[in-house]
Each structure stands twice: as C-alpha cells, then as structure tokens.
Amino acid sequence: MPFPGGTTLALKEWSAVIQALLEGRPTLLLRKGGIAEKGFEVPREPFWLYPTWSHQQEQGLREEAKPFLHPNPGPGVVRLHGWARVVGQWRVGEPSLLQKLEPWHLLKPETVQKRFQYRYPGLTVLALEAFRLPIAKEIGVNPAWEGCHSWLHLDNALELSAGKSCLDFAECDGMMRGVEGILGKSVA
C-alpha cells in the first residue's frame, strides 16, 4: 500500500522488535513514552521504523526474540529497513491483561511489568503493518535524535512508496481477533 509523498516522522524502537516486524512476525509494541515525554502519542500517518540499541537489553527479550538480535552498525549512521502504519491501538491500565498478550510480543514478563509501572501505571499497545524496503536507506545520525524519546523527525522527508507489506494477513487477522478478545475494539 504506497502512501503518496514522504515523511520525516520515525518511531524509535529496539532493533530486534523492528527486525521481527520486518520479517513478518505479528508483533505488538508495548509503549510508554520516553523520559522526556509526558505520554505516548500515536500518529495517524505512516512513519519510519528507526532501530535503536540503547536500552535494548538482551535479557529483556524472550528467547524467541534472540534470532532478531543484530549488532549495531556503528556510530553516526542508521539504516532504515522499513516503515509502518498503525492498524490497532489500545490503552491498557490492568497488568493482568498484558500477561494474556504474551503470544504477540517479544518482551519478558519483568520487562513488561517495568514498563507498565514506569512513572504511572499503564501502557499503549500497538499493532502495526510494516513495509520492508528492497534496499535500506542509510542516513547520518543527527545528535538531536539521541536521548530517550519515542518519536523523532528526520532531517529530510523520505519517500514511502517503496516497500512490501510484511504481514501474513491470516496471521495478523488471528492476532487482531485474539487481542480484541482480550482488550476490546481498537481505538485506531
């Protein structure tokens, strides 16, 4: 599904989670917002998947996430392998509900609990459709992008027309039905 034009908007996420999305694994994101943010806002428009290695802790990922771990390509450069759009969004205020979502995310229970309790109870759960680029876009890292925040704006808009959906629609439909059975209808 090509989107006309480009965007500067990018979501910072652990590289292993992005890799799982781009390899077609139906994966939920469990988000709170960075230290510098008051919450986690979700855009309506598509965005780049910006891989990060800071705060990514191998011990915070479940065993099935290990194949998605890749080394940091080095300082000063980042490779954008894809972009995404939100297909489901929920606000979760009850930690027992998050335990039921384990089949669809890559985080260990203690990592989920830590995120849930950080600053105030609750998490935003996102289901994404990811689009993998045939050739990654390599860009220089702007020092303004460093730090603990969820969203950033790239220096230049990058075209979103390239990319193939990574979703197996039957698997995604099964995940969405399962999640909606636990959390109710998506607000996205």
Q: What is the value of pTM for the model shown? A: 0.89
pLDDT above 90: residue 55: no
For residues 58 and 61, what is the distance between their CA atoms, to the nearest angstrom? 5
Tally the C-alpha atoms within 13 A of residue 101's C-alpha that lie toward its C-beta.
30
Whether 6 contacts 158, CB under 8 Å: yes
The answer to whether residue 35 scores a pLDDT higher than 70 is: no
Specify the pLDDT at position 154.
92
Q: Which fold would CATH assign to domain 6-183? A: 2.30.130
Domain extent listing, the chain: 6-183
Q: Are 140 and 76 in contact (CB under 8 A)?
A: yes
| Per-residue pLDDT tens over the stretch 124-177 | 999 988 999 999 999 888 888 887 778 888 999 888 877 788 877 788 888 899
Q: How many CA atoms lie within 13 A of 178 on its CB side?
A: 18
The helix or strand, by DSSP H or E, that contains position 82, with its residue range, turns out to be strand 77-92
Longest dimension (CA), the chain: 43
User: Over the stretch 62-87, which tens digit does the pLDDT of each residue have?
Assistant: 888 888 888 777 778 899 999 998 98
Model confidence at 59: pLDDT above 80: no
Is the pLDDT assigned to residue 48 strictly greater than 90?
Answer: yes
pLDDT digits (tens, 9 = 90+) for 76-125: 889 999 999 898 999 999 999 999 999 999 999 999 999 899 888 889 99
Mean pLDDT of 30-40: 71
Q: Which residue has the tokens 């930690």?
A: 95
> What integer pLDDT is reported at residue 179 of this predicted model?
93
The predicted pLDDT at position 33 comes to 67
